């Protein structure tokens, strides 16, 4: 019998209710997902459907109301998750390198080790010459690279990315997508990646999980059979176009539902 494989991340029947007026707000409704070790899973869905909430639950930043998230820890001492946000939220008084080593520093990693790891991650994102610069001296794209290096410096079991490229201009975003493909191939990390862009999800992901309009439920999971290594040229393939159409048809319904509900509450 083949050995039983347990997923790297097991999200089981996760619901989140935010307390507030009345019965509160149901943000996520019994979402279940399994993510394999080394998988790049993209999460898409209309605005307000609970994508960030699901990432925060995975990161342990907010508690789920019911259900469970289990992350399989393979390396003792490694943090389970690290998060990359849309806004890089760098510490302005710290140099680039000191921002990158911030997580390991807080975990008490010895100075020599954390700086070695920090420099390695800076090299990986192509920022070695800027180690001593301050955040205000960097462009948006460079700041986002620092944000990615900072998360990777923690060497987490799972990397959580919440629209990490959304604030960038289109050209910088395209470059960063290629960079992410390269970095992911090099490190083999398990990634959960939130994006509004189907194109981006198809370029990067092994599978795409689609959430419904609020309350977020898992609507469908699309395998991305586009081969690896993958580059920008994949966007020109007929398979890519067909997948865009197929996913958009499902996502469109949810976006329209969200818009109708927003109309309703405004009236
Ligand atoms: N801390 C909170 N307290 C109360 N409600 C919240 C809280 N965080 C999120 N919500 C609500 O939960 C729902 C899901 O929010 P979430 O930020 O997870 O959506 P999202 O899918 O990430 O949206 P977007 O695509 O706009 O980033 C929204 O209705 C939001 O207003
Ligand atoms: Mg969000």
> Other C-beta atoms within 10 Å of 119: how many?
17
- 265 three-class SS: helix
Model confidence at 4, pLDDT cuts 50, 70, 90, reads low
What is the 25 CA–ligand 1 centroid distance (Å)?
10
Does residue 78 line the site of ligand 1, with CB under 6 A? no
**Cβ neighbours around 3 below 10 Å, total:** 5
Q: Is residue 265 scored above 90 in pLDDT?
A: no
CA of 209 to the centre of ligand 1 (A): 18
Question: If you average pLDDT over every residue of the chain, what do you get?
Answer: 94
Residue 86: its pLDDT value, please? Answer: 83
The mean pLDDT value for 55-80 works out to 95
CA–CA distance, 232 with 111 (Å, rounded to integer): 39
The reported pLDDT for the residue numbered 9 is 98
37-52: pLDDT as tens digits? 999 999 999 999 999 9
Alpha-carbon torsion, ordered 232, 90, 43, 196, to 10 deg: -70
CA of 47 relative to ligand 1 center, distance in Å: 8
Which of 15, 16, 29, 51 maximizes ligand 1 atoms within 8 Å of its Cβ, making it the mutation to test the pocket? Answer: 51
23-27, 182-186, 246-250, 262-266, range with greatest mean pLDDT: 246-250
With contact defined as beta carbons under 8 Å apart, do 11 and 32 qualify?
yes
Q: How far is the CA of 10 from the centre of ligand 1 (A)?
A: 22
Mean pLDDT to the nearest integer, 102-111: 95
Ligand located closest to 48 CA: 1
> Which residue's CA lies nearest to atom 9 of ligand 1?
53
Mean pLDDT within 233-237: 95
Q: Which of 29, 45, 49, 218 to mutate to test the pocket of ligand 1 (most atoms within 8 A of CB)?
A: 49
CB of 50 sitting under 6 A from ligand 1: yes
pLDDT at 167: 87
In the block, residue with structure tokens 């960063």: 176
CA distance 152 to 89: 15
pLDDT(3) > 80: no
Say what the alpha-carbon torsion angle 250, 252, 258, 261 is, to the nearest 10 degrees: -100
- Cβ of 66 below 6 Å from ligand 1: no
Stretch 111-127: mean pLDDT: 95
For the residues 69-76, what does the mean pLDDT come to? 93
- Given this model, what pLDDT does residue 176 score? 92
Tell me, in angstroms, the distance from the centre of ligand 2 to residue 50's CA.
7
| Contact indicator for 55, 162 with CB cutoff of 8 Å | yes
Q: Pick left, alpha or beta for residue 144 (phi over 0 → left; psi -120 to 50 → alpha; otherwise beta).
A: alpha
The Å distance, Cα 124 to ligand 2 centre, comes to 27
Calculate the alpha carbon distances from 72 to 9, 10, 64 in Å.
6, 8, 18
| % of the chain exceeding 70 in pLDDT | 98
With a pLDDT cut of 90, the percent of the chain lying above it is 88
- Ligand 1 within 6 A of CB of 140: no
Across the range 216-244, mean pLDDT stands at 96
What pLDDT does 264 receive?
82
Confidence of residue 267 (pLDDT cuts 50, 70, 90): low
Q: What is the rounded distance in angstroms from the CA atom of residue 50 to the CA atom of residue 211?
A: 8
For position 92, what pLDDT does the model report? 95
Atom 1 of ligand 1, residue of closest alpha carbon: 18
> pLDDT, tens digit, for every residue of 121-161?
999 999 999 999 999 999 989 999 999 999 999 999 999 99
The ligand that comes nearest to the alpha carbon of residue 255 is 1
Ligand nearest to the CA of 83: 2
Q: What is the mean pLDDT of residues 50-78?
A: 95
For ligand 1, atom 23, the nearest C-alpha belongs to 48
Q: What is the arithmetic mean of pLDDT over 211-229?
A: 96
- Regarding the beta carbon of 24 and ligand 1, being less than 6 Å apart is answered no
Phi-psi sector, 246: left (phi>0), alpha (psi -120 to 50), beta: alpha
């Amino acid at each position: 019998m083949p050995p039983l494989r347990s997923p790297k991340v097991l999200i089981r029947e996760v619901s989140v209710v935010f307390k507030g007026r009345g019965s509160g707000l149901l943000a996520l409704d019994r979402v279940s997902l399994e993510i394999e070790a080394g998988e790049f899973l993209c999460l898409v869905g209309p605005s307000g459907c609970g994508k960030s909430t699901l990432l925060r639950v995975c990161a342990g930043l907010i508690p789920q109301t019911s259900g469970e998230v289990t992350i399989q820890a393979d390396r003792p001492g490694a943090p389970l998750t690290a998060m990359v946000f849309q806004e890089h939220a760098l510490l302005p008084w710290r140099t680039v390198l000191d921002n990158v080593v911030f997580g390991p520093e807080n975990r008490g990693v010895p100075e020599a080790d954390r700086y070695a790891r920090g420099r390695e991650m800076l090299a990986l994102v192509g920022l070695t010459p800027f180690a001593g610069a301050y955040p205000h001296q960097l462009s948006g794209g460079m700041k986002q690279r620092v944000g990615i290096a900072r998360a990777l410096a923690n060497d987490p079991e799972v990397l959580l990315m919440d629209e990490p490229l959304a604030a960038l201009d289109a050209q910088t975003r395209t470059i960063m997508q290629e960079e992410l493909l390269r970095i992911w191939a090099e490190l083999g990390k398990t990634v959960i990646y939130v994006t509004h862009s189907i194109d981006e999800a198809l370029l990067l992901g092994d599978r795409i999980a689609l959430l419904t309009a609020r309350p977020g439920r898992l609507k469908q999971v699309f395998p991305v059979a586009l081969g690896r290594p993958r580059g920008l040229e994949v966007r020109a393939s007929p398979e890519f176009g067909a997948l865009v159409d197929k996913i958009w048809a499902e996502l469109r319904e949810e976006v329209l539902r969200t818009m109708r509900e927003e109309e309703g509450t405004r009236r």
